[in-house]
Amino acid sequence: MKKLTLIISLLVIATMLLTACQPAAPATEQPQAPEQPTEQPKPEEPTPQQPAAEKPAEPMPAAGAAINKEACQGANLKFLTIQPHNVAAQNLQTWFQEASGAQVELIVVPYDNVIEKAVLDVTSGANEIDVVEYWYPGLGTLVENNVLENLDQWYADNASWIKADDFFPTYFDTFTKIGDSRYGIPYDGDMHLLWYYKPLFEKYSLQPPKTWDEYLNACKTITEGEKGNAYGCAIMGAKIPLILIGTYLNRLGSYGGSFFDAQGKPTINSPEAVAALEGLVEQSKYALPTASAVAFDEALGGWFTGKVGMVEFWTDLGSMTNDPASSKIGGQWGVVPLPKGPGDKGKVVASVNAGFAIGVSTGSKNKACAMEFVKFVADPETAKRYNTVVGGIDPARQSTLEDPKFIEFVGKEVADAIREAHKNAVVWPTSALWFKLQEPLNDNLSLALSGQKTPQQALDDTQKAWEDLLK
Amino acid sequence: MNGSLEKYTPKLMVLPTFLILLIISLVPLIYVLGISFTASTIAKPFNDFVWFENYKKAFTDEIFGHSLVNTLLFAFIVTTIQTFLGFVLAFTMQRERTLSGVLRTLALLPLFTPPVAIAMIWRLIYDPNQGLLNYYLLNWGLSSTPIAFLGERTLAFPAIMLADIWQWTPFCFLLCLAALQSLPRDPYEAAMVDGASAWYVFRRLTLPMVAPQIIVIFLFRFLIALKVFDLIYMLTFGGPGNATQVASFYIYRVSFKQFQTGYGGALSILVLILISILATLLTKGREFLLSKVER
């Protein structure tokens, strides 16, 4: 026993010495306060690194026409994408292979794993991935961990055709910019709208809700009237940050609350924030059972079978719903902006939950070809192509939204709703600290939703956790 | 010369295995122990030496404490039920000769199925709206409304336990069957000659003879159950709230969602210490029980 104690003690001492002798790590950057959700950022002034918006654009190259095939000769490009975008990625794979001659291999991961996969690929030295499709709140984390190539020079080199001002202002800076540099191009412009199932609304003589009070009333009326055959609303409250925080942000923004104030100080337990969570908890009582276990699949399962009156979902739901292969309710839906919050501070917002961008991994062994791939995806003509097939991608460019083929594909009602939503967009923070901050929020929202904490208590605890993390 | 060669040959022959074991187990352990004393992040290993700060933080981390309790509870409950069911199944089937091959193959199916597929199957079974379980509960009038097994804090953990029991009972069954079939026949024949009843034979012969192996099976399974991750990840993500939060899943979140590998390392070391203590206690318990049985 004594020997064992001695061995363990020696081992601990050796480890401490080993640790202490490690080369000093580079000085850590002072953590910056995360950016607060902002409302529709204004298009910024052109900078030398950024294409000048007012410059007359050169003739647009046809899709793939500008691809430098020499850069891709013999290249085997690995594209990290998420499972819900698999179909779109397969299309890009085929099209880019045709255009460049490169081989493209897809690495498909669950949507909530994409950031860690990209970070681990570079930090572990595996360097398998060339092109990364990233969830934009992870941008700061990716940049802090040196996972993404700086694309300032790439933007300057491609300024003649890229039409940066064509990207929705809501997305362009938020999805791609940290500090003064850009690290990606907007790919999937995801924001939430409120979708409703017309037959259930007609049955109960309901109008699409304009306020969260009307939403609660409609949800309650349908749920109580249907007695388990259908539910007034599906609320995605599964304990996954992208899902649960997205659902909460739909209410937080419209109640006039925010994650942080203008100085970057947490305001997550403000009266508006608490009221928003109280509203969510109350609504969840009448939602498809049970909100805290409902993620994409469960919400879509209820929606496609006509068992759900309303669902907050992304703008591609219309085309998915009209696909008879997956849905029974094609053509029987309507879409409106998210409801307005109560009181003076109440407003209509569209939360940018789950937008995605594309960047080049610093560990890429095919950087030149990876840059060509980014160019291909950024091409406005290619964007029109991948936005007019069922693949989970929503427009990141204004020209895509105004394209007659796209309007025909999604329907005028959806195109109008998207256009309207951009006027009131709220986005997630993208600082390097956000991935640490979102965990206590996610935990506490789930605790409130499952009745283990009151909304006030849950948000007070989140506020304290955030203040500690930001110290 | 020959004498010293003879003396060292066995040690030299063991050396490659020893080195491999050293590399695959001790090196990662030392690495984790090292980073546990630092404020490492995933991109900056061995960043800022903080001594025992991570350990101090762990002792005041409510979620970690809660996840440890959940882990122990989970491991104890599922292991007890699995060992019991495995033994009962093995005991009733040990004499079955004609169907034994088929039964063993069937028993192996859940073990061969990838954990992710098992989790998906149970997710579909538990689905409140289209799931098999709710279909029968509603049709047989056992419930008037669908039950969200994975969304209710009181039901989520038992639901995950049930999936785990389905997955791992065959493991216990096969080991118990092997243990029962390896028992010597002589004592049974002697008992039959003496006219002993079936219950007496079970209580006085089978149980004492098979007990050492059953305790080992329990120990193995308990240690495996402490590492549960896949079902939690696939079914509840630790929710609702923290109802199904377990240690391995929490460490994963800290290390790979928040990228705090230093703190994650400290939590891993604490869990390792806890498991080592439990394993020692269980081994001592096994020795104590064996001494009782032998008496």
* pLDDT digits 0-9 by tens, B120-168: 999 999 988 778 999 999 889 888 888 889 988 899 999 999 999 999 9
Distance from CA of A263 to the nearest CA of B (A): 24
What are φ and ψ of residue B220, in 5° steps? -55, -50
Q: HSE of B99 in the Cβ direction (CA atoms, 13 Å)? A: 9
- Kindly list the domain boundaries of chain A, sorted by start residue: 69-190+354-401, 192-352+431-470
What pLDDT shows up at residue A2?
52
Q: CB A452 to CB B241 under 8 A?
A: yes
**CATH architecture type of domain A192-352+431-470:** 3-Layer(aba) Sandwich (3.40)
ω before B244 within 30° of 0 (cis)? no
pLDDT at A32 over 50: no
Average pLDDT over residues A44-53: 33
CB A369 within 8 A of CB A153: no
The pLDDT tens digits of the residues spanning A4-15 come to: 445 555 554 554
Name the percent of chain A in helix, strand, coil, to the closest 5.
50, 15, 35
pLDDT at B17 over 60: yes
Token pair belonging to A354: 């789950």
Q: CB B43 to CB A120 under 8 A?
A: no
Helix, strand or coil, per DSSP, at residue B62? helix
pLDDT at A57 over 80: no
pLDDT at A56 over 60: no
Average pLDDT over residues A339-353: 91
Number of C-beta neighbours around residue A332 at 10 A:
16
pLDDT at A285 over 60: yes
pLDDT at A118 over 80: yes
Strands A76-82 and A131-135: parallel
What are φ and ψ of residue A354, in 5° steps? 80, 40
- Cα–Cα dist A200/A288, whole Å: 14
Q: Burial of A45 by CB count in 10 Å (0-12 exposed, 13-18 middle, 19+ buried)?
A: exposed
Q: Which residues in chain A touch residue B62, judged by CB atoms under 8 angstroms apart?
A: none
pLDDT at A68 over 90: no
Q: CB B151 to CB A294 under 8 A?
A: yes
pLDDT at A274 over 90: yes
Quick check: B34 contacting A, CB < 8 Å? yes
Instruction: Pick the residue from chain A with its C-alpha nearest to B42.
Output: A123
Q: Which residues in chain A touch residue B156, judged by CB atoms under 8 angstroms apart?
A: 293
Distance from CA of A110 to the nearest CA of B (A): 11
Average pLDDT over residues A9-23: 48
pLDDT at A371 over 90: yes
Nearest to B151 among A292, A305, A436 (CB): A292
Q: For residue B2, what pLDDT band results from cuts at 50, 70 and 90? A: low
Q: What is the DSSP string of A12-29?
A: HHHHHHHHHTSPPPPPPP
The pLDDT tens digits of the residues spanning A137-175 come to: 999 999 999 999 999 999 999 988 888 899 999 899 999
Helix, strand or coil, per DSSP, at residue A365? coil
A&B contacts, CB < 8 Å: 132
CB A85 within 8 A of CB A110: no
For B62-294, CATH gives 1.10.3720.10
Quick check: A120 contacting B, CB < 8 Å? yes
CB A43 within 8 A of CB A165: yes
What pLDDT shows up at residue A271?
96
Helices of type H across B94-238: 100-112, 115-126, 132-139, 153-181, 186-193, 198-201, 207-225, 230-235
Number of C-beta neighbours around residue B18 at 10 A:
10
What pLDDT shows up at residue A30?
37
What pLDDT shows up at residue B295?
59
Q: Which of A5, A116, A239 is the best substitution to test chain B (most B C-beta atoms within 10 A)?
A: A239
More confident residue, B159 or B12: B159
Nearest to B42 among A28, A119, A228 (CB): A119
CATH 3.20.20.70 corresponds to the domain A69-190+354-401: no
Average pLDDT over residues B59-78: 95
What pLDDT shows up at residue A10?
53
Mean pLDDT, all residues of chain A: 86
pLDDT at A303 over 90: yes
Nearest to A239 among B146, B152, B240 (CB): B240
% residues pLDDT > 90 (chain B): 51
Q: Which residues in chain B touch residue A26, judged by CB atoms under 8 angstroms apart?
A: 44
Average pLDDT over residues B1-26: 83
Q: For residue B241, what pLDDT band results from cuts at 50, 70 and 90? A: confident
ω before A169 within 30° of 0 (cis)? no
Average pLDDT over residues A346-368: 93
The pLDDT tens digits of the residues spanning A314-333 come to: 988 988 899 898 899 999 99
Average pLDDT over residues A422-431: 90
Average pLDDT over residues A63-74: 76
Closest CA to B229 of B210, B255, B259: B255
What pLDDT shows up at residue A186?
96
What pLDDT shows up at residue A365?
94
Q: Which residues in chain A touch residue B237, judged by CB atoms under 8 angstroms apart?
A: 238-240
ipTM confidence: 0.76
Classify residue A167 by its DSSP letter: B
